[in-house]
Chains A and B, each alone.
Chain A
Amino acid sequence: MLKEHTPLITSYPGLLAEHARCKPLLDSRLETGRTTGRRQILVCGGTGCHTSESALILENFQKQIARQGLGSAVKASATGCFGFCEKGPIVKVFPDDVFYVQVKPEDVEEIVDVHIIGNQRVKRLLYEEPQLKATVETQHAMSFYRKQQRIALRNCGLIAPEDINEYLATGGYLSLGKALTEMTPEAVIDVIKRSGLRGRGGAGFSTGRKWEFGRNYAGDEKFVICNADEGDPGAFMDRSIMEGDSHSVIEGMAIAGYAIGAHRGYVYIRAEYPLAVSRLQIALAQAREYGLLGHNILGSGFDFDIEVKLGAGAFVCGEETALIHSIQGERGEPRTKPPFPAQSGLWNKPTIVNNVETLANVPAIIARGAEWYAGIGTATSKGTKVFALAGQINNVGLVEVPMGTTLREIIYDIGGGIRGGKEFKAVQTGGPSGGCIPRQFLDTPIDYESLAQIGSIMGSGGMIVMSDKDCMVNIAKFYLEFTVDESCGRCLPCRIGTKRLHEILTNITEGKGTPADLVELRELSAVIMDASLCGLGQTAPNPVLSTMKYFWDEYEAHVLHKTCPAGVCQKLLRYEIIPDKCVGCTACARACPVGCISGAVKQLHVIDQSRCIKCGACMAKCKFKAIYRH
């Protein structure tokens, strides 16, 4: 190991030397394809895989390596999320580029024996490409990765996040060094502006322009806040970046601080992400120890340090003014803007709030230049975007693609299509503020503008795929339930209006909806959007409006025909016995928990609809398929 020296780095040349010293750590990982020499094994240590015993897997590797005396030939460590959560826990062997999926602690011995010692592959743990029905050996050959371009996630699944040396080996903190010693704050802002980077937290505001405001507003004190609240339920981009590569966010924040003239930063992070919090804290301590945070960083005269603030389970605290109130130890209610935080933010000082992914992009842009970044993406949206693919999709996971990639490419080429051979129905983007996009827009190249045009938003990157088994009215109801729970209650239209929307939708899903309700849904939505103070209220009706627009037939079915075409809304289901098929075996009557099926042995059975609770137990028990649901 490269140890036994004082890590404190006091100058840019010193940092470059440190980078050179650390670089060999990653050699075998960056030169993929080589098959001899020292090997490295990386085990996914993200929340997803952690849950499925990845810690034990790593421990077993270390034991096996020690037992077989392989210490000098192979090293095992934990890394951040590979993104392929569907098939976790993942184990990757470098430099062979071999990707093992769904590894269990007891598989470790075989991997060491067969692969590390025997130079063969453990075939049964390789990923099988469903379309090709063939296993793929290397990560680069997997269709899940082929269309991805990883910038924000560049180090996730490559480095051990708890070892700053590995981050330094990738060229980490060199962008900070370059900014502090070779660039003026204005030049930094200029690069970020020209790169075209826009906020990844949802609204898509130009990051460079935000920093320019932050710089230009005078203040004896300024702040940089990293928004790691990640409230969209079903999204986990920011969590994975924090867990897999906290240093890139820390470096991005320090560069932002230099650009606007701030000396203090805050990371506001959800309490629901304990692993991310602990990785971040480890990274902060290491950065301080190396002199990359703190006083007079790299001898430049620039001071900057970062504090962690935990959220406490309020979605609205993701909104920047609410977040600021929360850091101040107050109730996390939003306030009207302007003034924007860049003018008057934390403790009324100029403050810029940026999302985790936005900040993770910053060091890469400083390192490789504005032109490089602006060369990726579409006319209005540059660079890449990370999406959290979930729902009825084969490859649940994290994907990072250039802006302009189509939904079809993400869902089918990368995501592997719809789970269980079901039909694609819609994809939801933007969480509770977004909308549902139907199949006719699958070929839309995604960027901020195109998604807005089809009634959704980019949002923070949650992408939930729905199939013909999902009821769109029920989905709209689900999101409204969320906003009702999360509305802070300040604005009447948001507080009362969303509740009323939810009530109407509940009625519709229970078969009590009327045509007048459909009119009211529209009218109420317009009022809520107009009269709410913050983005939560202003966008809350989006899930309703977009589903009404594209899935009107489902609303009609619920309201006019009292049926749920997807068979989801329990109150609208009817279980009936087909007289021709019923043999009178009594199995259903015995299964029914409320005893509402009558009929003697070998006689036709009948369900008393007024007492049926639609549990489906009878249908599951009938061997003659005599019971159907509609």
Chain B
Amino acid sequence: MPRVNPKPQERVLPPETYAELDAFIAALHLDREDERRKESLIQVLHKAQHLFGFLPEEVQLHIADAFAINHAEVSGVISFYNYFTTTPKGKYQINVCLGTACYVNGAEKVLQEFEHILGIRSGQVTEDGKFSIESLRCVGACGLAPVVTINDRVYGKVQPGKVQEILEHYLVEASGEEAPVHA
């Protein structure tokens, strides 16, 4: 099914990032004739999400092209897996573990506290794009329940009372970045 690649000027995401993704894809030596090329699709989606932060349509089309498959096939895979997102997440992604061990140790109250302080619900992003909250199921650190991760950092034995303190660190960091603009 011949399809037209969206013209570069229609894209809003940085060409350098696309170049990085293309280099990654090139190294896979996809053979457009081989049905097994799709074995690499999920891996490429992981990479793309890592690079762009999310998988909007322009990226999906680009990947579909690289694999010579339908866009629908790519979007079907993306929608199936919780890990992939088509909308941007916050700069700081807060994940509250709601796995069983965390749940029976009060993780729900921790989640509520994050929601309360940031004024957003799980699944949403703050207006300034700084924070998003999500829940996940078990990061395998159940000994530290309740567990919260913020980007790559893992926080263990988080009690609702500790949430403000954890967030403060990021709030300071976030405002620090803006300082030069106002100065």
A15 to B80, CA, bound (A): 45
Are B139 and A390 interface neighbours, CB within 8 A? no
Are B40 and A464 interface neighbours, CB within 8 A? no
Q: Which chain A residues border B80 with CB–CB below 8 Å?
A: 314, 331-333, 488
Are B142 and A388 interface neighbours, CB within 8 A? yes
Counting from the closest, the 4 A-B pairs by CB-CB distance are A85-B143, A329-B38, A233-B99, A234-B100
Q: Which chain B residues border A329 with CB–CB below 8 Å?
A: 38-42, 77
- Determine if A514 is an interface residue (Cβ-Cβ < 8 Å): no
Q: Out of B42, B98, B137, which one reaches A310, CB within 8 Å?
A: B42
Which B residues, 33 to 77, have Cβ-Cβ distances below 8 Å to chain A?
35-36, 38-43, 45-46, 76-77
Binding site for A on B (CB under 8 A): 35-36, 38-43, 45-46, 76-77, 80-84, 98-105, 136-145, 147, 152, 154-156
Are A313 and B83 interface neighbours, CB within 8 A? yes
Q: Out of A51, A311, A347, A470, which one reaches B104, CB within 8 Å?
A: A470
**A–B Cβ pairs within 8 angstroms, 29 of them:** A48-B140, A48-B144, A51-B141, A51-B144, A230-B140, A233-B99, A233-B100, A233-B101, A234-B102, A234-B142, A236-B138, A236-B141, A236-B142, A240-B140, A272-B140, A312-B45, A312-B82, A313-B81, A329-B38, A329-B41, A331-B76, A332-B81, A347-B36, A390-B101, A390-B142, A464-B104, A470-B104, A478-B100, A479-B100
Q: A51-B154, A332-B80 are contacts. A235–B141 as well, Cβ < 8 Å?
A: no
A270 to B24, CA, bound (A): 21
**Which chain B residue shows the least CB distance to A243?**
B140
Q: Which chain B residues border A309 with CB–CB below 8 Å?
A: 39, 42-43
Q: Which chain A residues border B100 with CB–CB below 8 Å?
A: 233-234, 390-391, 428, 431, 462, 464, 478-479
Q: A312-B82, A466-B104 are contacts. A328–B137 as well, Cβ < 8 Å?
A: no
**Which chain B residue shows the least CB distance to A86?**
B143
Are A326 and B82 interface neighbours, CB within 8 A? no
**Which chain A residue shows the least CB distance to B74?**
A329
**Which chain B residue shows the least CB distance to A475?**
B104
- Determine if A225 is an interface residue (Cβ-Cβ < 8 Å): no
Binding site for B on A (CB under 8 A): 47-48, 50-52, 85-86, 88, 230-236, 239-240, 271-274, 276, 309-315, 326-333, 347, 388, 390-392, 396-397, 428, 431, 462, 464, 466, 470, 475, 478-479, 482, 488
A313 to B134, CA, bound (A): 13
Q: Which chain B residues border A274 with CB–CB below 8 Å?
A: 152
Are B143 and A397 interface neighbours, CB within 8 A? yes
**Which chain B residue shows the least CB distance to A331?**
B80
A231 to B100, CA, bound (A): 11
Q: Out of A85, A88, A233, A466, which one reaches B137, CB within 8 Å?
A: A233
